[in-house]
Amino acid sequence: VRSVDASRNEGRKEAVFVDTSVADYRTLEAGVREGLAIIEFDGAKDGLAQIAAWAANNSGYDAIHILSHG
């Protein structure tokens, strides 16, 4: 949904995974600070597998955040 821009985040590469099954998830995305990548995942499927698939092709991140049901 949004690419990472470390220059807008004190040089840090961070990604935020947002579960699209969370009610009003777009509001959560709107609250993510600039510079962080936003990646949506389907909460009805295996979220960890989706994140692992993303991680297989993306490296060098300082932090990964997950917004989902608890």
- Under DSSP, is residue 2 helix (H, G, I), strand (E, B) or coil? strand
Answer yes or no: is 12 within a domain.
Answer: yes
Answer yes or no: is 29 within a domain.
Answer: yes
Answer yes or no: is 1 within a domain.
Answer: no
pLDDT value of residue 11: 97
Instruction: Find tokens 């490296």 and name the residue.
Output: 59
3-class secondary structure for 32-50? CCCCCEEEEECCCCCHHHH
pLDDT value of residue 70: 73
Give how many domains the chain has, as a whole number: 1
Answer yes or no: is 54 within a domain.
Answer: yes
Name the pTM for this structure: 0.92
Read off the pLDDT of residues 5-49 as tens digits, 9 standing for 90 and up: 999 999 999 999 999 999 999 999 999 999 999 999 999 999 999
Range of the domain at 42: 6-67
pLDDT value of residue 32: 98
